[in-house]
Amino acid sequence: MLVECPHRPLGIEFAPVATVAGLGYGQAAWQSGSRWPTIAPHWLVNQRHCSLFNYPMLA
């Protein structure tokens, strides 16, 4: 739920994706005992989204 709420303004279709991602990130953090295994993939997802989806649409 904490991961879903900030993504809700992007559209209701992102809420289930954010929820599943949050569960996966939580599992990785819990098993590793660190937040870094969750920060790196989230950063990569954001970078890929910005480079492939946002900027080409603005041009």
Total number of domains constituting the chain: 1
Which two three-digit tokens encode residue 2? 């904490």
Question: In this structure, is residue 41 part of a structural domain?
Answer: yes
pLDDT at residue 49, rounded to an integer = 78
In tens, the pLDDT along 13-57 reads: 777 888 888 889 889 999 999 989 888 988 898 888 778 776 555
pLDDT at residue 55, rounded to an integer = 56
Q: Kindly tell me if the per-residue pLDDT of 59 is higher than 60.
A: no
> Which residues form the domain of 54?
35-59
Question: In this structure, is residue 39 part of a structural domain?
Answer: yes
Question: In this structure, is residue 53 part of a structural domain?
Answer: yes
Looking at residue 59, the DSSP 8-state letter turns out to be -
Question: In this structure, is residue 52 part of a structural domain?
Answer: yes
Distances (CA, A) of 57 to 27, 49, 53: 34, 12, 7
Threshold 0.85, pTM exceeds? no
Question: In this structure, is residue 9 part of a structural domain?
Answer: no
